[in-house]
A and B are shown apart, each in its own frame.
Chain A
Amino acid sequence: MELFVQRCFDGMFNGAIYASLAVALVMIFRATGLLNFAQGEMAMMCGYIALVFLSSSDSGIAGTQSIGSLLPGHPWPTWLAITGAVLVGFALGALVEELLMRPLGDGSPLAQVNVTIGLLVLLNGLVLQIWGPFGRSFPSPFPSGMNDHFLIAGARLRYTTLGVWAVLLVVIVALGVLLRYTKTGLAFRAITSNRDSAELVGVRVRRSLMLGWGIAAGIGALAASLVGGAIVLEPLTMMKMLIYALAAATIGGLDSPRGAIFGGLIVGLSQSLVPGYLGVPSELSLLPPLVAMVLVLLFRPHGLFGTVPVERV
């Protein structure tokens, strides 16, 4: 029992990270019908940027020295560094939309996917080129010492897990408020339902899409910055994260933020519970979420919470 609860708590931490990335994926999918394969790498870039912000100039991490001479008060405290990374992420997202996605218009989905895959490969190469293949550990913004945990049924619920979930829930509520109660949100929904008509009634499609990409990339950056303390940042980290997040988003339904959170939780838990109980080697922890994803796609192709579209020919 103790072990079970412990495994659940462990899974919840990863689940929150997957859920945040999945929410970012869903955000883009809702606005443009596109799966952003570069989401993970964009987030990873921002994670490294947070690392640069908060490391001292003599840490030997590429970029810290020049950043240190430019920014006042560098190295920054953890929270400020994360805020900075989120802002960089926002800019990166908006830039990607403006420079790469907008020229494609609403052209073929294949072209859009190709660009995001190109971006994935490019950013991964850049990160490897700039920061090298080493794993970097990362301070957590939450208290994460040996004793920073609640004991529940004999299992440790770490403050970092609670903190990550708290941040995630705040983000979701804020996003929900934005989408439901503001004019910006109304514009988003208009674009999602019909881009051309939205443009005709005066919705600023271009600005809204940039904002949407910015917010999604910002959420991704937040997710990457919060993994600190538990996951080591290295160039392959985020590709695995991406597949977990894609699995989470697919399980939940690609157009449902609620589903993304639920999916993230399922993926996180399956990743910590299945290897433990079924004797799957932990190296293969990629498999249970993948299998879950394939099963969901086979039997409920639009996910557990997604809407079923009607197809016209």
Chain B
Amino acid sequence: MTGLRRVFLAVTVFGLAVAPLLSTPLQLNRLSRLLVLVLAVLGVNLLTGYTGLVSLGHGVFVGIGAFTMANLLDLRLPIWVALLAASAFTGAVGVVIGLPALRVRGLYLALITFGMALAFPPIARQLGSVTGGVSGRPVETDFLPPSWLGIEDQAHIWRYGVCILVVAIWFGLARNLVRSRMGRALQAIRDDETVAALFGVPVAMTKTGVLAVSAAMAGTAGALQAILFPYVSHTQFDVFLSLRLYAAAVLGGLGTLAGALVGVGALVAVPTINDVLGVIDNESIVFGAGLIIATLLSERARRRSATRAVARS
């Protein structure tokens, strides 16, 4: 771990620790809802950054996670069970979508996922019994701290803590994943699919596996959002959510786990800054410009270091 990373990690942990002390319950709840999106950004990063598969449709998985959570809670399942089940279900949906989508190469996956992101809201509107149709549906949840903690009046802090815990668990899993044999297989696929196959990486299976994990992560984000703000509607999961998630993943830095944290920092900061300054009331301009600038800068840096490497040899 380099010095800069350590500083970054320290700042992040510190920021997350003091946030509950500095904010009102409403603000903290909003922060939690944005924070859980880090899982979706991490999912995009796993897919795009590590495996080189562009996903413009992770908002769909967030949506599926949220709607599944709402329906599971109808069955009076405990929150933890429902959370696990919703994540697993979203992962399974990822596999179903992945089976055809991952057979195609390169940019075509971007196409298919983009279409998915556009098609999801109208489909959700049609499935009224599951999604509440046009107007959406409330979520029956009592996401309250257990009574033995004695902080019933501090429910927002409990929720925030739970979110951080879940995010941390997923981060640990992702870290182990990318450092394992599987992680190396992913990066081999990113660098050259044909070469990876020649070296014995089961390409289709690895891609499907990573899509499942990535979708499950986004599903967890959605499920947590559904209990943080107990109302789900198709308008929350439109194509712009998917595009914002993608932009956040690129802004944070593809191919690094910390990148997801930085990216979600952007997701939190942009609307906050917009609220305060009130210059531009739509985030698309900021995210679009940010995505372009970040890409141009990182490409330039990459080229410079490549030139330097050549000069040294």
Question: When the two chains form the complex, which single residue of A117, A129, A240 contacts B282, counting CB atoms closer than 8 Å?
Answer: A129
Cβ contact of A117, chosen from B246, B280, B296, cutoff 8 A: B246
Interface string of B12-48 (1 = CB under 8 A from A): 0000000000000000000000000000000000001
Closest to B99 in A: A298
Residues from chain A with a CB closer than 8 A to the CB of B282 are 125, 128-129
The docked-state distance in angstroms from the alpha carbon of A35 to that of B110 is 10
Q: Given A240-B118, A246-B111, does the pair A118, B291 have CB atoms closer than 8 Å?
A: yes
A293 at the interface (CB under 8 A from B): yes
A122 interface neighbour in B107, B118, B254, B284, Cβ under 8 Å: B284
User: Quick check: A100 and B292 within 8 Å, CB to CB?
Assistant: yes
Distance, CA A240 to CA B114, complexed state (A): 10
B 286-305 to A, binary, CB cutoff 8 A, 1 in contact else 0: 11111110011011101100
Whether B247 pairs with A293 at a CB distance below 8 angstroms is no
B4 at interface by CB-CB < 8 Å: no
The answer, yes or no, to whether A167 is at the interface (CB within 8 Å) is no
- Whether, in the assembled complex, A231 has its beta carbon less than 8 Å from a beta carbon of chain B, the answer is no
Q: Which residue of the partner chain, among A100, A109, A129, A290, contacts B106 with CB atoms under 8 Å?
A: A109
Given A117-B56, A286-B122, answer yes or no on A35-B104 (Cβ-Cβ < 8 Å). Answer: no
Query: Are B296 and A103 in contact (CB-based, < 8 A)?
Result: yes
Contact indicator B111/A118 (Cβ below 8 Å): no
Expressed in whole angstroms, the Cα–Cα distance for A311 and B197 within the complex equals 14
Q: With A120-B288, A124-B284 in contact, do A290 and B119 touch (Cβ < 8 Å)? A: yes
A73 beta carbon closer than 8 Å to chain B: no
Q: How large is the interface on B (under 10, 10 to 19, 20 to 34, 35 or more residues)?
A: 35 or more
Q: Name B's interface SS.
A: helix
A250 in contact with B105 (CB, 8 Å): no
Residues of chain A lying within 8 A (CB to CB) of residue B291: 114-115, 117-118, 121-122
Contacts of B296 in A (CB 8 A): 100, 103-104, 115
Cα of A250 to Cα of B303 in the assembled complex, Å: 32
Contact B243 A35, beta carbon cutoff 8 Å: no
Distance in angstroms between the alpha carbons of A105 and B306 in the assembled complex: 14
Interface size class of A (residues with CB under 8 A): 35 or more
Alpha-carbon distance A129/B289, docked complex (angstroms): 14
Q: List 29 A-B contacts (CB under 8 A).
A: A35-B107, A37-B110, A104-B295, A107-B299, A109-B107, A110-B48, A110-B54, A110-B254, A111-B298, A111-B299, A113-B110, A118-B290, A120-B243, A122-B284, A122-B287, A122-B291, A124-B284, A125-B284, A125-B286, A129-B281, A129-B285, A239-B118, A246-B111, A246-B114, A246-B115, A250-B108, A283-B126, A287-B119, A290-B116
Closest 9 CB pairs of A and B: A122-B288, A125-B284, A118-B291, A121-B288, A125-B285, A118-B292, A114-B295, A290-B115, A297-B104
Instruction: List chain B positions with a Cβ less than 8 A from chain A.
Output: 48, 52, 54, 56, 100-101, 103-108, 110-112, 114-116, 118-119, 122-123, 125-126, 192, 194-195, 198, 239-240, 243-244, 246-247, 250, 254, 280-292, 295-296, 298-300, 302-303
Given contacts A120-B288, A301-B105, A301-B108, 17 further A-B pairs with CB under 8 A are A103-B296, A104-B296, A110-B48, A115-B296, A117-B243, A117-B291, A118-B289, A118-B295, A121-B244, A123-B288, A125-B286, A129-B281, A250-B111, A283-B125, A286-B119, A294-B112, A298-B100
Residues of A within 8 A of B (CB): 35, 37, 100, 103-105, 107-111, 113-115, 117-126, 128-129, 239-240, 243, 246-247, 250, 281, 283-284, 286-287, 290, 293-294, 297-298, 301, 311, 313
